[in-house]
Amino acid sequence: MTQKRYLYDIDPGEWEHPLDRAALSAVKQLPMVNDIVRSFIGSTTERSLRSIALASSVRASERQFPGVYRLLIEAANILDVKELPELYVSQNPFLNAGAMGVEHPFITLNSSMLSVLSEEELLAVIGHELGHIASGHGLYKTLLWMLVNFASGIIQFPLGQAALMAIITALREWDRKSELSADRAGLLVVQDVNPSLNLLMKLAGGAQTGEMNLSELFVQADDYERGKDILDSVYKILNSIGSS
C-alpha cells in the first residue's frame, strides 16, 4: 500500500459534482423549504437521531471496532476534517452506510460492510460519508429522512400532501446526485480507482467478486445509459424516484 497524500485545507467544493450543486439549488428554491428546515432540524432532532444510534448500534472507538476507528481517523486526516464524527456500526445485512446530523453529524456503517469489503474499500466508504459531512449534506439528508418517516403524520401543509410529495421528490433527486460528490471524496481518500470501482461492483452484486467482471459491468452500464426509446427513459425515472 503506497503512502497517501494528505489534502490539507482542501475545499469541499473541489470534489462537489455540478449535478449535486444544481439539484440542491433547485431544492432551496422550493416554497416552504426554509420553514420546514426550521421546524424539523435542530439540536433536538439531532439528539434524537443520535439517541437511536446509541441505543441500537455500537460506537467505534479505540476499544470497539478499533480497525474501523483507525480508518475513520485516516480518512479524516486525508480530507482535513477537523472535527472527527462519531461512527456507529449497526447490525444490518444490507450493504449500506449513511451520515446524518447537522451541528455534530455522525456516520452509521452497516455490519455487513465489515464482512464483505476489503480494508481499502471500507476506507472508501468512510471517505464517502466524510465527504457528505464536509459538504454539509447532513442538513438536507436529515430533513429528507424526517419527512419520509414522520412528516406525513404530524405536519399539515397549507398546500396539502401534493406539496409535501413535491418537496420529498426534489430532495430525493438531490440525494441521488449528492452521491456523485461523495464518491469523489471517497476516491480522494483511497487515491486508487480500483477499490472505488470494486466497491461499486460489490454494492451491485454482492461479495462473490469471482463471479463478476468489472469490464462486463461497464458494458452493462453502457447498455443502461443508451436506452432504446422514450419509454426506457420513463422507466428510469419511475424506477429511481424512491431510490437513494
Residue ranges of the chain with per-residue pLDDT less than 70: 1-2, 38-44, 150-160, 242
For Cα atoms 131, 133, 52, give the angle at the middle one, nearest 5 degrees: 130
What pLDDT is stored for residue 43 in this prediction?
58
**For residue 26, what are the contacts with CB-CB under 8 A and spacing of at least 6?**
170, 173, 174
Cα separation of 212 and 216, whole Å?
8
What pLDDT is stored for residue 208 in this prediction?
92
Report the number of secondary-structure helices (H) and strands (E) in the chain: 12, 4
Sheet with 86-90, side-by-side order of all strands:
58-59, 86-90, 106-110, 97-100
Residues in the chain: 244
What pLDDT is stored for residue 167 in this prediction?
85
What pLDDT is stored for residue 70 in this prediction?
98
What pLDDT is stored for residue 142 in this prediction?
86
Q: What are 176's three cell numbers?
A: 441521488
What pLDDT is stored for residue 114 in this prediction?
97
Bridge partners (DSSP) of residue 110 are: 90
